[in-house]
Structure 1
Amino acid sequence: MQWPDVYFTTQLPESGQVILNCTHNPFLVLLAYVVACAAGFATLGITERIGHTEKSTSQRIWRWVGAGCLAGGIWAMHFISMLAFQAPIEIHYQLPITLVSLLFALTASWLAMQTLSHAHLSVWQYLRAAVWIGLGIATMHYVGMAAMRSTATAYYDPMLLALSIVIAIGASLAALLISRHLSEGSGVVNQLLKYTASLVLGAGIVSMHFTGMAALNLVLPEGSLQSLPNDNNHLQLGVTVAVMMLLIIGSSISAAMADKKLQHKEGDLRRVNALLSQLDQARLSLQQVAHYDALTNLINRRGFNQLFAEKLIEKTNEGGMLAVMFLDIDHFKRINDSLGHDAGDLMLKVLAGHIKSSVRSHEDVVARFGGDEFCILIGLHDPEEARHMAQRIMLKMKEPIELAGRSMVMTTSIGISLFPQDGKTCEELLKNADLALYQSKGNGRNGLHFFSQHLKARATLELQVEEELRHALRNDDGLLLFYPPIYDLKTGHVTKLEALIRWQHPVHGLLAPDRFIAIAEANGLIAELDNWVLRQACEDLGELSRQGCEELKIAVNCSPLNLTREDLAIEIEQALRICGVAPQRLELEVTENALMGNLTDTLALLRQIRALGVSLSIDDFGTGYSSLAYLKRLPLNTLKIDRSFIQDIPRATQDMEIVQAIIAMAHTLHLQVVTEGVETFEQYDFLERQGCDFVQGYLLSRPVPLAELRPVLNEINQRKHACPVSPLILARGTFPLASKDLFPKTPAPHAGASVVQPIR
C-alpha cells in the first residue's frame, strides 16, 4: 500500500503542466444523497429507540447497530460519490486504503452513538463531541480520496479543505442536537421533523464530501501522455453498493420498528399486569370493607351471612348442630349520649375484644351487625354448650372498663337459636335468635333466652295485630271509645268521663287496650291512635252537648311517646275547633314516667296545652317518680291516685295512710284528686271522709259506649245522698268486665321503655 503525493497550495504550477477538468455523474450523486439521507433517518430512529429502551444490553446492541448504519451510510455515500467522479485519465483505487477509510467512518459513528446515549449533556459537551465526529468523517473522506491512483498529481486548496472539515463538524453538531430533540417527542409532527432532519443531515454530509472534492485539482506533468480511462461500469457498481446499503439500512429501521412495537407490547403487558395487581389489591380491599367491620375488625353482617351459609351446608351434609347467639349491649346509648361517640366507639372495641376472647378462636365466628349488636355462630354437640358460652360472655362483660376517667360495667342481653331444631336457613335462625333476644330484653335485660315456638307464635300474632290495627286506623273500622263515669263527691253528680279505647276485633271480639297499645307504640302507630282517640272524644263531647250534657268533661290519656311531639298542641287545638268544643271541657291525662323523660321540653309543651284552656291531669300517681320537686313545677289541675293503693282498703292500714297523705299533699298544691279503681262502698266512704274530690271505678259503673251512657248518668245523678250508688248501678258495676285473655301480655318495646297504658 503506497500513499500518493499530496500537495496543499492555493496556486497551481504554471509551466510544463496540464490541469485536468473533472466532472461527476449526476445520477450517482443523487444516489449518494439518497443513501446519506437514509443513513441519517436510520441514525435518528435508532437513537430514539435507544432512548426508549430500558435494558442496558438492548441499548448497547442498538448503539452498535446505529453506529453501523451511520458508518455504512457515510462510507457508502463517499464510495458512490467517488464512483460518480469522472476524469479524462485512468483512475483506480487501492482497496486497503479504502477499507481503512471505513474504519474511520465506523469510529466516528460509534462516537456519535455514544454521545447520544447520555440523557443530558451541555452544549459544550455536544460541541466537543461534534468536533471529534466531524474530524473522523473528514479523515474518512480524505483517506478514501487518498486511495485514488492515477498519473496526475493531486493538489488541494487549503481553504476549501478547511471548509469541508467545518461542514463535517457542523453537520455532526446538527445531527446530535436534532437527535436529542427528536428523542423527547412523539406523534405525527415528530415523525415529519425526523424526515426533514434526515434530508438536512444528508445534505450536510454530501456537502462536506463535494466541498472536499472541490478542493482537489489533478495536474499532469508537461509532455506526459494522457491515458484514456478504462471502460469500467462505475454506474453499475454504484447502484449495487447503494442498493445493498439501503437494504441494510432498511433492515435496521424495520428491526427498530419491530423492537419498538415489541417493547410497546411488553409495556402494555406490564401495565396490564400492574393493573391486574392493582385490581386484585382493590378487590381484597373491597372485600375487607364489604365483609369486615372497620371499627372492631370483626366480620360484618355480609361476611357473617356468607360464612353462615357455608356452615349450614357443611352441617346439613355431615350432620351436627349450630347455635346462633344474638348479643345486644344493655343501655349502650347512655355511653354515646353522656360521653360522646368517640368514647362509645372505644367501648365497642373493648367489648368486641371481650366477646372474641370468650369464644373458641378457630371454631367460632364473631360478627358485629352494627351499633351495639353482635352475633356469634358456634358449632356444638349439646345445647348446654351454647348456654355455658353465653354465661361466660356475660361474666366477661361485667369486668370494669376504664373509660374517660370512669370505671364502667356493662351487661348484655343474649338470644339463642339452634340448628336444626329452630330453623334450617340463615334467615330463619337469625330471626328466631332475634326473637329470643327480644324476650331477654323484655324480661329485664342482662339475661339469656333460647328460642321457643311460643315466641314465634307471639311474634306472628303481634305482626298480624299490627297489620289489622293499621287497617282499622286507616278505615276507621272497629275502634270504639268506652266511658267510665267520674263522680264528683262535692256536687253528687258525674262531672267527668274518661275516654278508654276498645277494639272490636273481627275474630277475637272486644279487646282491651293492653292487648294492642304496646304493639302500637313499638311500631309507630301510637301517635295516629292517640289522635284518633282525641278526635273521637271531641266529637262525642259535641254529641253530649246536643243531648243536654253541656257541662261534662272528658279526660283523654296521652301516650309518653306523644309527649315528645311538638305538633300535639296543634292537633288538640284543631280537634277542638273542628268539633266546636270548648277547651275547658277537655282534660289531658299523662303519666309520671312520661313527664320525667325530658322535663324541659315536656314543660314547654304542657304550657302550650294549658294556654289553650285544656286541663292537665297526672295519671297513676304513686307508681312512678312521685317527686314533689317536679310536681310543683308542672302546670297541673288534677292528680289521679292509682288503683293499686285502693284495692286493699280498708284492710291495708298502710295504703290508707298513703292515700290520706297523697290527698293532703295534692290539696296543699291546689290540685284536685281523682281516685280510680273504687269497687266497694267501704272504699267510697273512706275517700269521702278524707276529702277526695272525685272517684271512679266499678262501684259506679263499668265503662260503657256513648250510646249507653245517658241512662247510666241519669241513674247515678238521681241517687240519694245517703246511698250514693243505687242497687241497679251496684248490680251493674260490682263485677269487673269479664274478658278472656286472648293475647299473652306484650313485653316492653325493644328500646327498653316500660309499658304504660296511656289510652284505656
Structure 2
Amino acid sequence: MHLLDKFLGLQQSLTQLGVQHSDSEKDDSALKIQTILKSCCQLLNVSRVSVWLFNDQKSSIVCQYLYIKEENRFDAGIEILESSCPEYFKSLNTSRVINADNARTDSRTKEFLEGYLTPLNIMSMLDAPIFRDGELSGVLCIEQTLQHQYWDMAEISYAVSVADCISLIYAQSKWLFEKQKIRYMERIDPLTSLENRLFFQKRIFQDISHASPNDNCAVVLIGLDEFTNINARFSYDFANKLLCEIARRLESISVNLPYQLSRVGGDLFALWLADFRKHSQLEYVIASIKAQFNDGFKTFTNEVINLTASLGVFNCCIKELADKDPLRKAEIAMLKAKANGNGSVSYFNPIWLIEHQEEASLEHEFVDALNNGEIVAFYQPIIKQNYQSSGFSLEALVRWLHPTKGVITPNIILPIAKRLGLMGQLGMVIFEQTCVDIKRFKALGLKLKRISVNISSEQLFSPQLINQIESCLKEQKVPTALVEFEIVEELMAGDFQVLSTQIDKLTDLGIQLSIDDFGTGYSSLSRLKNLNVSKLKIDKSFVDGLPHGDEDICIVKSIIGLAKGMGLDIVAEGVETQEQASWLFENGCDYLQGYLISKPIHADDLLTLMSQQNDFFKIETSV
C-alpha cells in the first residue's frame, strides 16, 4: 500500500469511530478510550496498546488501560518509576514521540529490558504524548511482541492522532465533571450539604405541578432564635459548625412521611411535606423538629449552650393553593412566631400577607432612605451636674425622617437593617452624620466634649471598619478625641481575641469606648478587666427602680463601685426624675442621660437646648 493511502486510511478509520464528540451527559470516557485502543491494535496489527498517566508528582506513570490483542482483554495498574527509567522519562519530556523499532537497544527504552521488555517479549515500541490543560500528562504506548516493527510515517502520524483523540476525550471528561460539579453546587448548600433555597423552591414547584388537587401539602420554616448572638459571642467558625450539627439533627427526624429538608437562609431551615393525610401527622413532624433542640450544643470549650427555634407553618390542600410559593407564607408565619417569643409555632393566617407586604414596602423604602438623607442622627445629652462649666457629651441615636410616616424610631429601623444585612451601612451613615455635626457644634461654640455612637457586631467585626473610620474623620477634620463608640455588653462574651483586637485598633486611633447596657449581658469581670474601655453605662432597667427598689439600689451601687475600682467613668441611662438624679449623684455616678434632661432631638433643636442656661438639676446634693 502506498504510504499516503495508508496514512489516509488510518486517519479515516479513527474519524469513523466517532468517539471524539458526544452529546451525552454521561461520562463514557472509559468506553471511548477502550474502543480506540482496540481499534488501534487491530489496524496496526500490533500486540498491545495502552494509556499511561503521570502521577501527581510526575515521578511515575501508571497504566490506566492496556488492551492485549491475543487475549482480547483489558488490564491496568502497572506502574513504572522515573527513578528506574530516567532516559525514557527524559525523552517523553523532550522528544515527545518515541519510535523505538528495536526497544531493547534503543537508548530511550532499553532501561525497560529486564523488568518489562524481556518478560513480556516486547520487541518494538511507539509512544505518543497525551496532554491535559496544555501540559504533558501521559503517553499512548503501542507495543509489538515477538518480532520487530519498523514504524513508518503513516503509523507514527496515526499514533499521534490517537493520542490527541484521547487527550480530547480526557478534556471532555473534565468539562463534563466540572459541569456536573457546577450543577451540584447550584442545588446544594456548601456548608450543610442540604438542598439550597433555589432548588428547594424548584422541587416544591415540581411537586405541586404533579400533585392531585386533594393532596395536602405543608412547609415548616425553622428559624433559629437569636442566632446572631452566637456569631457575636463565639465566632463565625463555631456558628458554622453549629449550623452543620443542626442540619444533621434535622436530617435524623424519623417520620413515616416523605419530606425534603433545605437550608434556605443563614439561620433558616425548611421542611417540605408534599403529601400528608392527617393534621396529626403534621403536628408530629413539628414536635419532632422541636425535640431536636431539647439537648444543648457544645462549644469549642465544651460549654453547653441551649438554642430554640421558632417555626412558621403553612399548610393547605393543593386545590386551595393560590400560588406555587408556600415557602413565602411560611416565612411570614415564622416572623410572627418570633414576635411571639423564642420557640413559638405559628400557622399562617392570610391577613398576615397584607401586613407583610406593608413591611416589605417599608424595607424597600429603607434602602432608599439610607442614600437620600432620610436616615439621620438625633442626639441625647449626657451631662454632669456642673455641665455648664465642664461641658457635655451626646449620644447619637438613629432616626428615620419618613416623608409620610414622620419620625421612625430604632425599634422599627434596627430589625429592618438586620433583616436586610445593612447594619454596617446604617452604622456608617450615622457615624458620618455625627462627624458633620461635631464640626457644626464646635463651630458654634458649644462646649461639646464628645459624641458617643453605637456600633453593632456586624460593624465592629468588619475588616473595613478601621479604614472607614479613619477616612471619615480625616475627611471631616474631626479630632478622634471627640468620638466615642458604645458596644453592647453581650459582645464581650463572644470571640474575645477578635473583639479585643478591634477595640485596641480603635483606641490606637484615640477613640474611647464604653460598654452599653451594663449588667444585662454575659460579660465576665476578667474580660472587662482586659478590655480597653473607659466607661460603663448602667442600663435603664436598673435606674427605673431608684431610689426605692432595694434590688436596683444594690445592683447600681455594685456597678458604680466596680467602675470606680477599675478607674472607669459611669453613666446612668434612662434618668427621668429629679429623685433619681439626686440619688445617683450622691452615690458617685459621673454622668446622667435620660428624659429628665432631654429626649433624643434633632441637631437643630439641640443647638437651642444646649446654648441656653438650662438648670436640669434643681436638687441639693452632698457631692
Query: Into which bin does the TM-score normalised by the smaller protein fall?
Result: 0.5 to 0.7
Partner residue of 2:22?
A: none
Partner residue of 1:556?
A: 453
The C-alpha deviation readout for 1:61-109, integer Å capped at 9, x for no partner, is xxxxxxxxxxxxxxxxxxxxxxxxxxxxxxxxxxxxxxxxxxxxxxxxx
Distance 1:560 1:393 in 2: 30
Distance 2:617 2:314 in 1: 64
Matched, 1:584 2:481: yes
**Distance verdict in 2 for CA 1:358–1:565, change over 3 Å:** same
Distance 1:524 1:340 in 2: 18
Distance 1:119 1:700 in 2: 102
Partner residue of 2:536?
A: 639
Distance 2:186 2:484 in 1: 55
Query: 1:650 pairs with 502, 527, 547, which one?
Result: 547
Distance 2:299 2:618 in 1: 67
Distance 2:540 2:459 in 1: 24
Matched, 1:394 2:290: yes
Partner residue of 1:466?
A: 363
Q: How does 1:105-254 map to 2 (within 5 A)?
A: none
**Distance verdict in 2 for CA 1:648–1:513, change over 3 Å:** same
- 1:647 to partner: Cα distance: 1.1
Q: How does 1:61-100 map to 2 (within 5 A)?
A: none
Matched, 1:324 2:219: yes
Structure with the greater alpha carbon radius of gyration: 1
Structure 1 unmatched runs, 5+? 1-117, 121-183, 191-277, 725-760
Distance 2:193 2:478 in 1: 61
Q: How does 1:316-465 map to 2 (within 5 A)?
A: 318-327=213-222, 337=237, 348=247, 351-352=250-251, 354-355=252-253, 357-360=254-257, 364-368=258-262, 373-380=269-276, 383-395=279-291, 398=294, 413-420=310-317, 423-426=321-324, 428-440=325-337, 446-453=343-350, 455-465=352-362
User: Structure 2: which amino acid aligns with 1:366?
Assistant: Q
After superposing the two structures, state which structure 1 stretch, 650-659 or 294-303, moved more.
Answer: 294-303
Matched, 1:483 2:379: yes
Distance 2:213 2:483 in 1: 68
- 1:479 to partner: Cα distance: 2.2
Q: Which has the higher helix share?
A: 1
The C-alpha deviation readout for 1:185-205, integer Å capped at 9, x for no partner, is xxxx99xxxxxxxxxxxxxxx
The C-alpha deviation readout for 1:283-304, integer Å capped at 9, x for no partner, is xx99x97999799999887876
Partner residue of 1:11?
A: none
Q: Tell me the secondary structure at the aligned position of residue 606 of structure 1.
A: helix
**Distance verdict in 2 for CA 1:479–1:445, change over 3 Å:** closer
Partner residue of 2:582?
A: 685
Query: 2:610 pairs with 700, 706, 713, which one?
Result: 713
- 1:710 to partner: Cα distance: 2.8
The C-alpha deviation readout for 1:461-513, integer Å capped at 9, x for no partner, is 3322222122122222x222222211212555551111112111112111111
Distance 1:675 1:715 in 2: 24
Residue pair 1:435, 1:455 contacting (<8 A) in 2 also: yes
**Distance verdict in 2 for CA 1:442–1:596, change over 3 Å:** farther
- 1:544 to partner: Cα distance: 1.2
Structure 2 unmatched runs, 5+? 1-68, 72-148, 156-172
Distance 2:428 2:280 in 1: 49
- 1:538 to partner: Cα distance: 1.3
- 1:570 to partner: Cα distance: 2.6
User: Structure 2: which amino acid aligns with 1:481?
Assistant: A
- Give identity over the alignment, percent: 27
Equivalent residue pairs, number = 444
Q: Tell me the secondary structure at the aligned position of residue 514 of structure 2.
A: strand
User: Structure 2: which amino acid aligns with 1:495?
Assistant: F
Query: Using CA pairs below 8 Å that are at least 6 residues apart, which structure has the higher relative contact order?
Result: 1
Residue pair 2:385, 2:617 contacting (<8 A) in 1 also: no
The C-alpha deviation readout for 1:141-179, integer Å capped at 9, x for no partner, is xxxxxxxxxxxxxxxxxxxxxxxxxxxxxxxxxxxxxxx
**Distance verdict in 2 for CA 1:310–1:674, change over 3 Å:** closer
Partner residue of 1:312?
A: 208
- 1:640 to partner: Cα distance: 0.9
Q: How does 1:45-64 map to 2 (within 5 A)?
A: none
The C-alpha deviation readout for 1:526-561, integer Å capped at 9, x for no partner, is 222111111111111111112112543211111121
Q: Which has the higher strand share?
A: 2
The C-alpha deviation readout for 1:335-380, integer Å capped at 9, x for no partner, is 9945997x9878855642x32x3133xxx33344579835231434
**Distance verdict in 2 for CA 1:661–1:313, change over 3 Å:** same
**Distance verdict in 2 for CA 1:454–1:637, change over 3 Å:** farther
Distance 1:374 1:647 in 2: 42
User: Structure 1: which amino acid aligns with 2:360?
Assistant: L
Residue pair 1:483, 1:704 contacting (<8 A) in 2 also: yes
Partner residue of 1:30?
A: none
**Distance verdict in 2 for CA 1:311–1:569, change over 3 Å:** closer
Matched, 1:672 2:566: no
- 1:577 to partner: Cα distance: 2.3
What TM-score, normalized by structure 2, do the two folds share? 0.60
Residue pair 1:646, 1:655 contacting (<8 A) in 2 also: yes
- 1:695 to partner: Cα distance: 0.7
Distance 2:545 2:404 in 1: 36
- 1:675 to partner: Cα distance: 0.6
Distance 1:321 1:624 in 2: 45
Distance 1:401 1:691 in 2: 42
Partner residue of 1:575?
A: 472
**Distance verdict in 2 for CA 1:429–1:319, change over 3 Å:** same
Query: 1:628 pairs with 504, 521, 525, which one?
Result: 525
User: Structure 1: which amino acid aligns with 2:221?
Assistant: F
Q: Tell me the secondary structure at the aligned position of residue 670 of structure 1.
A: coil
User: Structure 1: which amino acid aligns with 2:544?
Assistant: Q
Partner residue of 1:601?
A: 498
**Distance verdict in 2 for CA 1:714–1:461, change over 3 Å:** same
Residue pair 1:700, 1:716 contacting (<8 A) in 2 also: no
Distance 2:277 2:528 in 1: 58
Matched, 1:500 2:397: yes
User: Structure 1: which amino acid aligns with 2:284?
Assistant: H
Q: Tell me the secondary structure at the aligned position of residue 460 of structure 2.
A: helix
- 1:641 to partner: Cα distance: 0.6
Distance 1:631 1:549 in 2: 33
**Distance verdict in 2 for CA 1:398–1:598, change over 3 Å:** closer
- 1:119 to partner: Cα distance: 7.3
Q: Tell me the secondary structure at the aligned position of residue 502 of structure 2.
A: helix
- 1:567 to partner: Cα distance: 2.6
